[in-house]
Amino acid sequence: MSAPATQGERREIPAADARAGLEALKAEGFNVLVDLTCVDYLAQKRAPRFDVVYRLMKLDAAEGRDLGRVEIHCAADAQPVLRSVRDLWPVADWLEREVWDMFGVGFIDRPDIKRLLMYETFVGHPLRKDYPIAKRQPLIGPKSGEKADSPSFNILKPTVVGE
Amino acid sequence: MPLEETIAPAGTMTTQIDAALGWARKYSIFQYPFVTACCGMEFMSTAASHYDLDRFGAGFPRFSPRQADCLMVVGTISHKIAPVLRRIYDQMAEPKWVIAFGVCTCTGGFYNNYSTVQGIDTIVPVDLYIPGCPPRPETVIQGLVMLQEKIQKTGGRPRRVVEAAP
């Protein structure tokens, strides 16, 4: 195995042009979407607040070699501006659902997107920096403020509060 | 004359039916491993031939709750899967016991966050807590022996009236 051709260049693309840029990269040979994730820059007061990150790789499937990587950053807000890339890389279907679930960043051509990890009745997006750290939304069991009849719950977790 | 003195010379002995039942039940624990996370590797290690849970009569995992006596909750329980765990517990026939295997099931462990149940005893009644992240097989075996003592003492009677799941 030789070393990767490049260690991965970082590129900023405006969210509105992201789809065209990613299509061009796919045509250039970036055939694997390694990761699609998001960062919340609430504390840094950045506008737009979120940074959606696409990490791409050129994979030589015959030899199993990594021929280069690139990292695309798109500043985005909670209002959907990005277009889905499901048709370019099918794995984006799940990853976009995860970004929506955890950060609440939507995609304009996926209006009825479903949560991936949390349950349907969950309110809010837990990886946002303004999600209350002690907020709990259990499906069953003790809810807002009430204590369970449980020694571990009562002794070890006095700070846990409900909604 | 008391009954015992009448029948003792005839080669019989008296005992309690509960004690006999408890003795029988503690060596035939059919377990249901509810494995969700990394503690499962330690559970496999405990159940496999090196540590050999079968020595204690608990070597027979049943993957149907209807056939199981002991629910072993192994690994982190998230709020999403909590109703499933509750239903599994409700489907088990009495007498039944619950082991919280690993610190995540005991208290939530270090996952004090939006997704993790802070101790499965907020959902189902727990008989035995085995702490550790993960617990060593020796700890699990000690816990199992303690559960056997508990079964011997209670004779395997239904311990409590369990209300229906909400």
User: Of A134, A9, A125, A117, whose CA–CA distance to A68 is shortest?
Assistant: A9
pLDDT at A61: 84
Q: Domain for residue A123, yes or no?
A: no
**Alpha carbon A123 to chain centroid distance?**
17
What percent of chain A has pLDDT above 70?
83
- Which amino acid is present at A135? K
Substitution target in B73, B76, B78, B79 with the highest count of A β-carbons within 10 Å is: B79
pLDDT at B77: 92
Q: Domain for residue A153, yes or no?
A: no
Distance to chain A for B116, nearest Cα, Å? 9
pLDDT at B59: 82
Paired residues of A66 in beta bridges = A59
A51 touches A41 (CB < 8 A): yes
**Alpha carbon B66 to chain centroid distance?**
14
**Alpha carbon A101 to chain centroid distance?**
8
For residue A97, the tally of other CB atoms under 10 A from its CB is 17
pLDDT at B24: 85
Query: How many domains, in total, are found in chain A?
Result: 1
pLDDT at A40: 92
pLDDT band at A94 (very low <50, low <70, confident <90, very high): very high
Q: Domain for residue A26, yes or no?
A: yes
ipTM score of complex: 0.74
Name the 3-class secondary structure at B26. helix
Which segments of chain B have a pLDDT < 70? 1-15, 155-166
CATH (domain of A82): 3.30.460.80
- Asked if B118 lies within 8 A of A118 by C-beta distance, the reply is no
pLDDT at A132: 87
Tell me the pLDDT tens digit for each residue of A96-147.
999 999 999 988 888 888 899 999 889 999 999 998 888 888 888 776 545 5
Q: Domain for residue A46, yes or no?
A: yes
Specify the fold of B23-154. Rossmann fold (3.40.50)
Paired residues of B119 in beta bridges = none
pLDDT at A74: 92
Q: Domain for residue A136, yes or no?
A: no
- Count CA atoms closer than 13 A to A44's CA, side-chain side: 9
pLDDT at B2: 66
Tell me the pLDDT tens digit for each residue of A31-84.
999 999 999 999 998 888 999 999 999 998 888 888 889 999 999 888 888 888
pLDDT at B11: 67
pLDDT at B162: 45
- Whether residue A156 has pLDDT greater than 60: no
CA distance B62 to B47: 13
Going from N- to C-terminal start, the domains of chain B cover 23-154
User: Of B115, B97, B117, B92, whose CA–CA distance to B106 is shortest?
Assistant: B117
Q: Domain for residue A56, yes or no?
A: yes
Q: Domain for residue A148, yes or no?
A: no
Which chain A residues are Cβ-neighbours of B129 within 8 angstroms? 152
For residue A97, give its domain range: 9-117
pLDDT at A160: 47
- Asked if A139 lies within 8 A of B82 by C-beta distance, the reply is yes
- Which amino acid is present at A48? P
A50 touches A39 (CB < 8 A): yes
